[in-house]
Amino acid sequence: MSTETLVELFERGLDAPICLTWELTYACNLACVHCLSSSGRRDPGELSTAECKAVIDTLERMQVFYVNIGGGEPTVRPDFWELVDYATAHHVGVKFSTNGVRIDAAVARKLAASDYVDVQISLDGATAEVNDAVRGQGSYAMAIRAMEHLAAAGFRGFKISVVVTRQNAGQLDEFKALADRYGAQLRLTRLRPSGRGADVWDELHPTAAQQRQLYDWLCAHGEQVLTGDSFFHLAAYGEALPGLNMCGAGRVVCLIDPVGDVYACPFAIHENFLAGNVRAGGGFEEVWRHSALFSELRGPSAGGACDSCQFYDSCRGGCMAAKFFTGLPLDGPDPECVRGFGEQALAGQARTDRAALPRPGLDHSHRGPVRGQASKPVAVTIGRRPVPAPPDRACDINPLAGFAAGGAR
């Protein structure tokens, strides 16, 4: 089975997303410094319970197998469990990401009893020291407590979801040991300069040497460790990592945000990547199938400045969101290009360019410190600079790592 052929089919888009991220709320009990959705405070325009159920009805009709629910901290929505039950009763599986705040013994037992619910506990350090510096005081203990409850309830194979940073890149073996201890599976994903992540990206993103070590570590662990296909820009080191290695934005994945806005990908909450809203006439189905942005993303893409690079077929230009929020041209190299072209491009940016980087479209950050975390409120920008050209490919949050190919040639 030729993976290229499958990728080509997927690049032209599917009748329904394979994997849909749905951020149920911008409310969060934490204030992680790298939050990709700049969460903290609830948006008053959040979809109501009835509106959420209507979205689930649409997803059932479109045969979306499962949704990745996140936020914010989704479990702080009072109707969270009601919505999870409604989704699974309507044949839409749920994977949800949580910092663990609501995972007590009783909840863990309920979760362990369902085939249709999967849980991802976010943890960004294998030690409290490293984790809490990013996620806030006490957040490590909170996550560990949730994992203990899940393991005690017999929930096998829940995920420990780690954003790889300069500070935790040396702890990969410790993360793996932690996952093994709780019968969980480790999931490593890429730090994006999205949301508040843009403010800390320079200090937090792994160094070139760490990227190389990460790649080797991932190759050594194969399909035991999930990546959400998020490190496909590292494929230029050599062999591709497990997964499809393509940008899924608007093709096989997308994001529904708490107010019903549909973006091409969870890392691109910005008007340039906004395809429509589920509250509009045709609902989510119309946006997925007919929005101008998604149609464009499913068209042919060009490599631009990367066209002449012999590794373009491996990395395919990297992550659209990473380029967009660091101010690099969308058809140029990824800021973390393994050949160093991204770093060169960033070094060449004028100071004035850096000051005018695109800002996330929305900011729901807490206005004061949370758990020792001084989450910086972002000043409201009046008169945004002219936006870059619309994307021809958007970033990847691919669900297909470990994709099992079946079917005749």
Partner 1 sequence: MPPSSSFDLDQPWRLDERVAVRPEPFGALLYHFGTRRLSFLKNATMLAVVRSLGEHPSARAACAAAGVPDGRLPAFERGLATLAESRMITPRVVTEQGAA
Smallest gap from Cβ 15 to partner 1, in A, equals 6
Nearer to partner 1, 47 or 117 (CB): 117
CA dist 145 and 65 (Å) reads 30
Smallest gap from Cβ 334 to partner 1, in A, equals 26
**Nearest Cα residue to 20 out of 98, 115, 87, 85:** 87
Smallest gap from Cβ 250 to partner 1, in A, equals 16
| Contact of 283 with 301, CB cutoff 8 Å | no
| Contact of 258 with 71, CB cutoff 8 Å | yes
Nearer to partner 1, 66 or 341 (CB): 66
Smallest gap from Cβ 403 to partner 1, in A, equals 6
109 C-beta neighbours (distance < 10 Å), count = 15
Nearer to partner 1, 88 or 277 (CB): 88
Nearer to partner 1, 91 or 339 (CB): 91
Smallest gap from Cβ 278 to partner 1, in A, equals 20
Smallest gap from Cβ 116 to partner 1, in A, equals 6
Nearer to partner 1, 159 or 205 (CB): 159
Q: Pairing mode, if any, of strands 66-71 and 253-256?
A: unpaired
Q: What is the DSSP string of 8-51?
A: HHHHT--SS-SEEEEEEESB-S---TT-TT--BSPPTTPPPHHH
The residues near 25 (Cβ < 8 Å, ≥ 6 apart) are 39, 42, 43, 46, 71, 72, 73, 74, 76, 77, 258
- Interface residues toward partner 1, by CB under 8 A: 1, 6, 9, 14-16, 18, 63, 65-66, 91, 93, 95, 115-116, 118, 157, 399-400, 402-409
Nearer to partner 1, 9 or 292 (CB): 9
Nearer to partner 1, 348 or 407 (CB): 407
Smallest gap from Cβ 289 to partner 1, in A, equals 12
| Contact of 256 with 22, CB cutoff 8 Å | yes
Token pair of 15 as six digits: 């009748």
**Nearest Cα residue to 272 out of 194, 358, 380, 367:** 358
Q: What is the DSSP string of 104-123?
A: -HHHHHHHHT-TTEEEEEE-
